[in-house]
Structure 1
């Protein structure tokens, strides 16, 4: 069988030219459903005279000699449509390709091999496929390719994997093709080339093995490979977190400070004997000798320091031996009235805001607290001894104010002013006191007076996090190739620019990671960080690329696209200004067109021979800064768009940060010629968890505070510094992590688990939506309502028995995205079941019955006891479906000193049944000595005589005295 070669063309320009020329041609043919009629389309018009004798149908492998039995030509009246003809055949063809031709006839009416007169010789025939309309899942277009020439494959030993085997393989091959060459001396040029190729082969073989090793999670050894693998299972491998701390600043003057120009550092050997330092003081000191902390401000970038905020005293309203109990979220601070100083207009506006109704005329208040400020409550004097050295260092806590209300105490007077100015403050419930904080105590003998100011509040509090500022120019995105582009149907001619892969590595480490500050968060939430949500503290500033290569005559490599300007031009644009005036190339003219009109006019008057005028320099720098692009970090690029300026930082095993950009689909691909600068922080992990009182120095970059006394310190230790997650732990936990994350509620337990996940609900709740109310637990059941299942979800709030409507609405909105299709969702508060409990207690001789009864009332209360333990019926001890066992009740009562024995005489659900006069309540204990509850029920016994429907405790005391 012979094979005929044919010319294969992807751009069939002749087809378009035939339509325009006075020639005929066939375009394509398609069979009918019964495969007995062929619809053949012409390239434009059909000839006036065409008969069946002019048509021939050849080809076929199994079915041959198909005869044409009919012809009908259809001429279109619409000149924009092509003519076509219907050709009838006597039988369908097979699956091979047939050829329908339009040929001339001889004098006897027989067809010839020549095309019909007027037909283009290339389009006088058309391929016909009778089975083209048969159903198939494949592409109907037949690819036309030019296959490469057949080459003889040499015998290769694929077991060669190292340098020695590759060297021997090449020598054996050369011995076969060059038998006369037998030189083996090392300095020989051929031997040098052989060893060089063997080295390259050994390197590529190692690279191939490394790729195979890093292709699987079980065998991967590099941290970057493991991170990418586990991301496919939704496991967030973290790189740790930097530490955060609260700093208090004590000052003797009002002084606003720019937060971007200061640093807080720890001590180091040879530190000067002053609190305020400059960068000149740190130049001879190795950076490893001290830790740097920078301000974290959720709002403005200015820190306002107030004299009277350095130490604020609590107000006890004239009482003594006062304390703030654990769980407190409010207090009262004492304020002062002072005459307003002669200030400028700006400060006068500030002081006017602190004046409230009822204040004496011509006075102002010194405390300028506002919601959002943070105070640190600290015990400064030992409550028992009155000695400052005995103050408990654990009694320190930061609180963020949510409400500030100035008030006046009319009973006591402050100096010559009537009354005492005070400030009522409230703070976030998440910052509720975790310990009792004493305000005033009675001094020990012999003084025995009221000792005040045992605890104070510190203002001028700044949130800082660990990490020093770094900045470096990463370089310019290279140009892989630049080639002219031909004009097409949809785009004009131009130059195709392909950028090189740009994967810079940060020169300094360790890179800081931190969680973005949450909005409207408490002081506790501002310190807490989830390492899996941490992002690298880095941003990139990019200078756009110039439009063309400087070498316009030869756009092929090594032509490289430059940036529009450089970062040195931002510091000193004198040289750039001269180039803009001369307009030496097209790229400079492009930059000039992007400047503002005022700057271009100012440049027109600049000759270049004199220093750049300050006004022109400032305007030029401002215009250049407006051209800069900012790129932000992301954990991954899976949800990024093609125009998003984002990137990913991947940490290797040495702690170096590798930057990875998008590919044009998931994240923007940097253009060739773009110049990048990285501004980032270094300092990460547990090394930043410095102790209390170690951050003691303030470093000023640009500002000066002359004649000002400033003292800084961290009353509490820095926390949150976390080490990067070990690779071994990632390999152990990542394959099973997806099982721990519920993405859809299928069964009732899923609804309960999702509702009880306080951390997840806190993360997904809308920002600034009010105080967060955690849940002690939740339970859910699926019940048939007649048409479908309803997920009844009950909530058990932490530390309380009532679930406010806002909590129910919040949980319902939180669960809605996880609801299974076909399920209704109904969220409600738990059903609290009032318990009627009666105990008969026999008291030991020598004990007072009243004392034992009081102790039993405490044990079976719903309060927090004096020793910090919870009462038996405290809301946090009981949850859904927790039955009450007689044995546990007896054990709790028997543990009270003075109790000889206990009998549970009644344990049942409380019912609104009043006994008749002269009768008593019947005693009843459930069978099995266990009072069972339903899955959405919680036991409740408040023992409040005003509300007996919330549970009742009856004690029958006998014995004792």
Structure 2
């Protein structure tokens, strides 16, 4: 019987005995002095010195696929008596050969002094030839073949798995598989069948979640659509402006502190509760809606509770729509740039009754300039009456959306009473957003691994750790531990998503609903690994995070529950086992925060000076989370959205996404070393482009432009025009009425019905050919007009550019027509009417 053993210790046993045997065979190949002698000499090393024993050609037998002839056998080599030199007539081939020590040519048995186990050895003549394989042979014991069992791969439930396992056990271990329900073997099979049934369900569920049209989990849909670079909309919370009325000034204890810190809670009315009370989350949860301040409130002033307008001794006054400045009565040195103030109608302008006031006549504005002192640093006064006044200017984006009535006179039925003030200005205003903070929720600890891969089946099994084949042939492979996933779930929902609130933002922008990719989860996470407490930062996804980043992403399921997913040491750091996590997050989202005005009533801070809390504006800007149906509907068509700028049309399409841009014209110019795209924006509803708008548009194009293509935003050149129409009026038509109708149509303003006047800035485009025919057609369609013709149609003050002959005017790429028809500024374009006839 032949044994295959990793530890060959027979030679040591023979070395210490009277027997001898073969130790190893050496083929003289590369070290041969004469190249013709390569692989013709074999050095047979014996375990012990043979002494007086001499071996000849009759005692050596070499067997192989190709026969080799032994020429001579010599005892001893260079003083080594245990070496037998065998000379061959020719070398052997690439096959294995066996060298045997025999008694004689007629007796194949080993000589009496040779150990039968070490009487033969297998060798190769080509041992020194280059090879890509390991020289050490595999010494693992062979596994006997197991009996074949038919495996039903369609088994997917408990009964089919149980039947298949019992069939298998009947063949593999007949004595073990009895099939009796009370037997231990049957109980084990039942448990394994149940486990297999659960795994099959998970596999089927995973297969279902792998397709967009079949996935039931919102998290699966988010990950699938991420492959299309689609960002799932997680919604946004609502916002409004809150006003605090105080009985006395509330000043901070230290300059760096705030009387109402960021994150202070305000809520709707709670029965039997004072206006201010110490924060209690359980009590706040009983209210209909909880809001929290978005910024610190540095101080509160009683003089800012209600500030009246200064009318300069006039009566029945109002601030016109679009106003950006006003004068307040009184000396208000604590009003400063960057504060919000609210303009509010407090009584009905026609009746003087507070119940008749318009609740929608409220607007919050951002102050950008306050003037309470004159050049001599004395309080500002009215030079006629000597009354103290304060002048304020607010941001252009917060221009009044409606006229603000300051003083009025009631109707005759109400007695012609003079009413002042009708509207007032309120300070102590701060932006608040929907959501209640949940403090320090324990999320548990990152678990330790309890499962492992089968030996050699882990992710690291194929990596070379510097262990040679000789060291690992008989060593058992170490199992690689499987790191369990740690995905804690937040106890409360829905998790709040809100935009980043920057200081100095106009009030109109603060209430605007942000884009889906501009909202972020309101959550703070700390991990305690036993040595130190480290913060983890929320990110939209983990793909852009490196292996050392302490980040996580919040994944929202369709039931609004939120779970946290950490990195895997490739995209984000994996938490160490035993790390304890605590979370501080906010709850509240979507249109559930859209409360009406004057609904907030309590402040969750012990501040007795606060005597009134209410929201000046209604809750706005909230957006619900994107549903599974909406994700399936929108995500597959994301590729149709323009996301690169190559052609001029691309720049035009992408430029229109900017809010204030009506149209964009582009030109490619080679500037010496590269190509520059010159974009010329045409703003909506206005004339002129500010430097901030140019910077904004340039930044907008940055993520769409081609590499090595620069983008420059140009300023349009406005060309004033002179247009004069001669109109024949019907004899029975009123000339003044016809003129009024024509001036309404040919107006640079928006008409009462919402239509644009023909001379409105939005009617003209850069480089546009301005035709005369549409103007004449519009004039002739007016009731009472018999005929109309143009007597002047040219650029302002330039008779050479008359377009009467060609009935059109041409403009350059950067030129935009302009007809303001302002008598005070005729250089900005003039439109005249020459009416004939009528009455």
TM-score (norm 1): 0.66
Partner of 1:675: 580
Question: CA shift at 1:908, angstroms?
Answer: 4.3
Trace 1:39-50 onto structure 2 (pairs within 5 A).
Answer: none
Shift of 1:753: 2.6
The residue that corresponds to 1:530 in the other structure is: 515
Q: Cα offset for 1:225?
A: 0.6
The equivalent of 1:710 in structure 2 is: 611
- Please state whether the residue corresponding to 1:733 is helix, strand or coil: helix
Give 1:830 shift. 2.9
- For 1:955, the equivalent position in structure 2 comes to 833
Q: 1:828 aligns with which of 686, 710, 714?
A: 714
Name stretches of at least 5 consecutive residues in structure 2 with no aligned partner. 8-28, 41-75, 92-96, 100-122, 252-258, 374-379, 453-464, 468-479
- 1:499–1:923 CA distance, 2 compared to 1 (3 A): closer
Q: Which of the numbers 904, 919, 928 marks the counterpart of 2:789?
A: 904
CA distance in 1, matches of 2:183, 2:230: 56
C-alpha distance in structure 2 between counterparts of 1:395 and 1:715, whole Å = 10
Q: Distance in 1 between matches of 2:247 and 2:442?
A: 41
Residues 263 and 294 of structure 2 are in contact (CA less than 8 Å); yes or no, is this contact kept in structure 1?
no
| Change beyond 3 A, Cα 1:127–1:457 | farther
2:550 is matched with 645
Q: Classify the secondary structure of the residue corresponding to 1:460.
A: strand
- How far apart in 1 are the matches of 2:620 and 2:266? 16
Structure 2 residue aligned with 1:777 = 663
Alignment CA distance shift 1:286-1:464 (3 Å) = closer
**CA distances 1:512-556 after superposition (whole Å, capped 9, x unpaired):** 22112134321122222334322221111222x2xxxxxxxxxxx
1:203 corresponds to: 198
Q: Which residue is equivalent to 2:365?
A: 399
Structure 2 Cα separation of the partners of residues 207 and 922 of structure 1: 79
Q: Cα–Cα, structure 1 residues 149 and 265, in superposed 2: closer, same or farther, change >3 Å? A: farther
Matched with 2:655 is 755
Contact 1:859 1:872 in 2 (8 A): yes
Q: Contact between 1:386 and 1:444, CA under 8 Å: does it hold in 2?
A: no
1:312 partner SS? coil
In 2, the alpha carbon distance for the partners of 1:933 and 1:143 equals 88
Residue in 2 that maps onto 1:191: 186
Picking from 940, 944, 961, the partner of 2:818 is 940
Per-residue deviation, 1:632: 2.1
Contact 1:907–1:931 under 8 Å retained in 2: no
1:747 CA drift (Å): 0.4
Residues in 2 aligned to 1:104 and 1:155: alpha-carbon distance in whole angstroms: 63
Distance 1:813 1:470 in 2: 38
Q: In the comparison of the two structures, how many residue pairs are matched? A: 705
Provide the rounded CA distance (Å) in 1 between the counterparts of 2:598 and 2:208.
Answer: 49
Contact 1:247 1:463 in 2 (8 A): yes
- Cα shift readout 1:132-155 (whole Å, capped 9, x = no counterpart): 9xxxxxxx9999999996664643
Unaligned residue ranges in structure 1 (runs of 5+):
8-37, 41-49, 59-64, 66-102, 115-121, 133-139, 337-365, 414-418, 491-495, 546-562, 565-626, 760-773, 916-920
Counterpart CA distance in 2 for 1:873 and 1:227 is 48
1:228/1:939 CA distance change after superposition, 3 Å = same
Aligned-residue offset at 1:296: 1.3
Report what 1:375 is aligned to: 341
Give how far 1:777 is off: 2.1
- Distance, in Å, in 1 between the alignment partners of 2:427 and 2:524 is 32
**2-side partners of 1:404 and 1:497: how far apart?**
67
From the superposition, tell whether residues 187 and 806 of structure 1 become closer, same or farther in structure 2 (CA, over 3 Å): closer
Contact 2:324–2:396 (CA<8 Å) still a contact in 1? yes
Mapping for residues 613-628 of structure 1, pairs under 5 Å: 627-628=532-533
Say if 1:309 and 1:367, in contact at 8 Å, map to a contact too.
no
Deviation, structure 1 residue 313? 1.3
Q: What is the deviation of 1:641?
A: 2.5
1:800 aligns with 2:800: no
Structure 1 residues 24-65: Cα deviation after superposition (integer angstroms, max 9, x where no partner): xxxxxxxxxxxxxx9x9xxxxxxxxx763599866xxxxxx9
Moved more, 150-159 or 715-724: 150-159
Match of 2:636 in 1: 735
- C-alpha spacing 1:181/1:753, structure 2 compared with 1 (3 Å): closer
Which segment drifts farther, 947-956 or 655-664?
Answer: 947-956
TM-score by length of 2: 0.74
Distance 1:819 1:912 in 2: 41
Please report the RMSD computed on the Cα atoms of aligned residues, expressed in angstroms. 4.2
Aligned to 2:266: 264
> Aligned to 1:465, what secondary structure does the other structure show?
strand
Output aligned runs, 1:129-278, within 5 Å.
129=130, 152=146, 154-179=149-174, 183-256=178-251, 257-259=259-261, 262-268=264-270, 271-272=271-272, 274-278=274-278
Report the CA distance shift for 1:720/1:812 in structure 2 as closer, same or farther (over 3 A): closer
- Residues 101-139 of structure 1 show CA distances to partners (whole Å, capped at 9, x for unaligned) of xx978999969999xxxxxxx9x9985549x9xxxxxxx
Q: Name the CA distance, whole Å, in 2 between partners of 1:141 and 1:754.
A: 63
User: Retained in 1: the 8 A contact 2:538–2:554?
Assistant: yes
Deviations 1:661-703 (A, max 9, x none): 1112322221122111111112222211111221112233xx3
CA deviation after TM superposition for structure 1 residue 639, in Å:
1.9
| 1:791 aligned partner | 677
Equivalent residues of 2:149, 2:171 under 8 A apart: no
